[in-house]
Every structure is written in C-alpha cells, then in structure tokens.
Amino acid sequence: MKLSLPALRNTPWFKATSGQWRYALRNTIAMCLALTFAYYLNLDEPYWAMTSAAVVSFPTVGGVISKSLGRIAGSLLGATAALIIAGHTLNEPWLFLFSMAAWIGFCTWACAHFTNNVAYAFQLSGYTA
C-alpha cells in the first residue's frame, strides 16, 4: 500500500502539534528513566516503574506534580487503612470482608463526591487497601 503525500498528511502523525510532540517525547524520556532507575535498584518487577511514570504523566508540569501528590496521598491513605483494618479484623474473616467492603464503598462515594486529584487519591486508596 503506497500513500500519496496528501493522504499521508491526513494521518494523525502529521496532524500532531509541536506541543503534542514535546509531551510525547517528555513522557517517553520519563518512562525510560524510570525503567533505567528500576533496573539500577534491582527491583523484582521494574516494568511497574515505567507504568507508574506513564500513569502520572500529564501535559503540563503543574498537573504532573498535582497528580503525583494525589497518587502519594492515596497510596499512603490506602496502605494505612489496610493496616488498620487487617490489624483489627484479620482473625475474623467476615468482619474483615465487611470492613474492606465498607472502606471501598466509602472510597467510591468520596471519588464520586470530589473532583480532580482528590477523587484520584480516594480511588487509589480504595484499590491500594
């Protein structure tokens, strides 16, 4: 299949703006650096570092910082909730199940109630626990 020049210019690659190309390049560099750093630290599953870099990517620098703070807060909140729930209810499977269901229900409600990165933090805390 041979494309003519006018048909080639209608492809998404040629319609991208310079800002979109910068974002793609910045995201690629961040993912490669995260993977390199994970290999340097000899992590068991280094591809998760690359995935995390892709998840927190955002076209603006301020958005990246805000989303990263939401990710950190949500992970810490979820881990704390999991430790508290598991520490008090692990010997009673039904109580553990209902406590986790209540926590996930609360996080779902909070995710629907709030917007932007606060909702993202509650979403993360729900499935981190």
pLDDT at 95 over 90: yes
- Block residue for tokens 């508290």: 84
4-27 pLDDT tens trace: 766 666 777 677 788 888 888 989
Q: Residue 91, CB half-sphere, CA atoms under 13 Å: how many?
A: 2
Taking residues 89-97, report their average pLDDT. Answer: 91
pLDDT at 7: 67
Q: pTM of whole model > 0.75?
A: no
Domain residue ranges of the chain, discontinuous segments joined by +: 1-57, 59-129
34-46 per-residue burial string, b: 16 or more CB within 10 A, e: under 16 = bbeebeeeeeeeb
pLDDT at 107: 93
